[in-house]
Amino acid sequence: MNSEPVTTLYRVDDLPALDFDPFLRASLHEAPVRQIRLPHGEGECWLVTSYDLVRFVTADPRFSRDITGRPIPKMTRHFIPLDRAVSFVDPPGHARVRATVAPAFSSTAMSLLRPRVQELLDAMVDRLLRGQRPADLVRDITSPFPLAVIGLVMGIPEADHAHVREWATTLLSRASDEQAAQRAERVKQDSRAYFLRLARLRRAEPRDDTMTTLVRAMDHGTIDEEELLALATLIGLNGWHAVCNNASNMLYALLTTDGLWDRLCAEPHTVPGAVDELLRWVPHKHGVGQPRIATEDVRVGDVLIRQGEYVYVSYVAANWDERVYPQAGHIDFDRQGPRHLAFGNGPHFCVGPLLARMEAEVLLSTLTARLPTLRLAVPPGTGLLADRHPHPRAQGTPRDLVGAGLHGRRARTTQDPKNAIRARAAFDADEPHGTRSGAHHSRPCVTDRCGGVRVGVTAVVPAAPAGPASTARASDDPSRARPYG
Ligand code: HEM
């Protein structure tokens, strides 16, 4: 037991591209259970990083997720949990709510869904190929694709997909000012009202979708209305946000690591292994997710965590624990080893891992088959993609600039730290191009729960500010993600 633990401030700094967080790396090596302070909230808490201990904490019922209303140490000033969200409910109530949607995300459901998911993606790739070149893969593929898929699964009409994207971006924003808090509160009300309307619609006209399943569960008395609304919102928002960011980061990693893309093209059977390894490797969560609270004294490794103390775990760190994954920073499609923790562990294990995996497999199989010469359009660190606005430092015609696999030309591949920093920043999943000042607006997309994915890809945006929204304010920055539940 540490009688006087040293407390370290974890500032949760932005990081270049998909770099592994040095604070997590140091914690893994030096203190897998360490006491930290966070930028907001009160007091100290524990951070657990090693694979074995993360599994231990997340599976042990003495660590409760019922933290609503407590003055927790946290990454952001505002914390707007959804009322009655499963994220903050302990078993057995938690299992009761989760069971209502389990069949909708089972392997059987995924097998039935897969052909329709493939059709959706094929149509998007067709459009991409017909469109202007170079192309922006995030705008045209990795954002609309998971949105269309989760819309299909939930039964959200296409005309409303943009709302889901907007709500997720706002709710997961880490912006800490008062306006951001008001925006998030408003979005919380709007999304609640929307899903309530959708639920009523499905009661009147049932369909073969998850919203209808939830309504039936409510009508049978398994869940109540608030539980239905919170779960529908979580699934809808995470279903887009997490997959969009994860898929973008996977592509970025594949296109910036020597040989990976070409191997995937040459050996399509490696796609499932590649997806699994990339899920482990991509740092989904930046910083910390939701804490747990010790309901009694519990020894975790060498440390005695006292009743009432808060504990955060880092699944990202656990996935890079060298004791479990030798050469953890190396992407190895053939890696053997225990199950990674990208989707969490214990009762709060992600609702949609099979869906997320299936989408990633369909995406990578399709893009490697149809766009085998896909290349970065701009230097790594500045972009996964090129859009219609040429990179100011890359002279030449669009044909010379890009690749996007459409021209079969290799783009420049020089890496420099400055670009890398920009790179990780310039992308925002749903921001229209030309709405930011600066040639490359640098910002990571950082969230800290299920959607906890750092987006390390960039879109090239025009050098000149365009349009009224061109002044980026911190408060607007959805890349600064807040926790919500
Ligand atoms: C690559 C994509 C995804 C990743 C990396 C991911 C990861 C995670 C993680 C780490 C957790 C939290 C575990 C914890 O709190 O201990 C989680 C929870 C959750 N995820 Fe995902 N997720 C992804 C996709 C999805 C999708 C597609 C859906 C919707 C179908 C979804 C819905 C949820 C929900 C509702 C929770 C809360 C579960 C609970 O607290 O019981 N996620 N996810």
Domain annotation covers residue 483: no
Is the model more confident about 5 or about 461?
5
Cis peptide before 22 (omega within 30 of 0): no
Stretch 13-40: mean pLDDT: 92
pTM: 0.83
Domain annotation covers residue 25: yes
Probe target for ligand 1 pocket from 238, 339, 349, with the most ligand atoms within 8 Å of CB: 238
Listed in sequence order, the residues at least 6 apart from 285 whose beta carbon sits closer than 8 Å to its beta carbon are: 314, 315, 316, 447, 448, 449, 452, 453
CA of 238 to the centre of ligand 1 (A): 7
Domain annotation covers residue 250: yes
Does residue 435's CB lie within 6 angstroms of at least one atom of ligand 1?
A: no
Does residue 236's CB lie within 6 angstroms of at least one atom of ligand 1?
A: no
- Are 156 and 407 in contact by the 8 Å Cβ rule? The answer is no
What is the distance, to the nearest Å, from the Cα of residue 365 to the centroid of all Cα atoms in its chain? 21
Quote the DSSP letter at residue 292: E
Percent of the chain having pLDDT more than 90?
A: 62
Q: Is the pLDDT of residue 439 over 50?
A: no
Does residue 86's CB lie within 6 angstroms of at least one atom of ligand 1?
A: yes
Is the model more confident about 187 or about 385?
187
Tell me phi and psi for residue 322, to 5 degrees: -65, -25
Q: Are residues 140 and 175 in the same domain?
A: yes
Domain annotation covers residue 89: no
Q: Is the pLDDT of residue 163 over 70?
A: yes
Question: Which of 310, 253, 361, 382 lies closest to 63 in space, CA to CA?
Answer: 310
Q: Are residues 55 and 122 in the same domain?
A: no
Q: Are residues 471 and 394 in the same domain?
A: yes
Write the pLDDT tens digit of every residue in 269-318.
Answer: 999 999 999 999 999 867 888 999 999 999 999 999 999 999 999 999 99
Which residue CA neighbors atom 41 of ligand 1 most closely? Answer: 348
Q: Are residues 65 and 212 in the same domain?
A: no
Domain annotation covers residue 1: no
- pLDDT value for 457: 35
Does residue 356's CB lie within 6 angstroms of at least one atom of ligand 1?
A: yes
**Confidence class for position 411, pLDDT limits 50, 70, 90:** very low
CA of 352 to the centre of ligand 1 (A): 6
Domain final position from 302, 319, 336: 319
Q: Is the pLDDT of residue 49 over 70?
A: yes
Domain annotation covers residue 242: yes
What count of other Cβ atoms lies within 10 Å of the Cβ of residue 347? Answer: 17
Domain annotation covers residue 484: no
Q: How far apart are CA 189 and CA 408, in angstroms?
A: 47
Looking at ligand 1, which atom is closest to the CA of residue 58? 16
The b/e string for 352-377 (b: 16+ C-beta within 10 A; e otherwise) is bebbbbbbbbbbbbbbbeebeebbbb
Q: Are residues 168 and 311 in the same domain?
A: no
Q: How far apart are CA 404 and CA 132, in angstroms?
A: 11
Stretch 409-413: mean pLDDT: 25
Q: Are residues 195 and 254 in the same domain?
A: yes
Domain annotation covers residue 72: yes
Question: Which of 245, 269, 217, 78 lies closest to 146 in space, CA to CA?
Answer: 245
Q: Are residues 313 and 184 in the same domain?
A: no
Q: Is the pLDDT of residue 179 over 50?
A: yes
Q: Are residues 203 and 324 in the same domain?
A: yes
Q: Are residues 64 and 136 in the same domain?
A: no
Is the model more confident about 234 or about 133?
234
Which residue blocks in 257-332 are alpha helix, DSSP H? Answer: 260-266, 271-281, 315-319
Q: Are residues 348 and 308 in the same domain?
A: no
Asked which of 93-97, 128-132, 177-181 is least confident by mean pLDDT, the reply is 177-181
Q: Is the pLDDT of residue 190 over 90?
A: yes
Q: Is the pLDDT of residue 84 over 90?
A: no
Q: Are residues 225 and 185 in the same domain?
A: yes
Q: Are residues 315 and 326 in the same domain?
A: no
Percent of the chain having pLDDT more than 70?
A: 76
CATH code assigned at 312: 3.30.43.20
CATH code assigned at 267: 1.10.630.10
Which residue CA neighbors atom 30 of ligand 1 most closely? Answer: 352
If one counts the domains in the chain, the total is 2
CA of 225 to the centre of ligand 1 (A): 21
Quote the DSSP letter at residue 76: S
Give me the domain span that covers residue 313.
Answer: 7-83+291-319
Tokens of 213: 């399943």
Does residue 343's CB lie within 6 angstroms of at least one atom of ligand 1?
A: yes
> Alpha-carbon torsion 82, 85, 90, 93, what sign?
positive
Long-range pairs for 216-224: beta carbons < 8 A, 24 or more residues apart: 217/100, 222/96, 222/99, 222/100, 223/96, 223/97, 223/100, 224/84
Write the pLDDT tens digit of every residue in 192-224.
Answer: 999 999 999 999 999 999 999 999 999 999 999
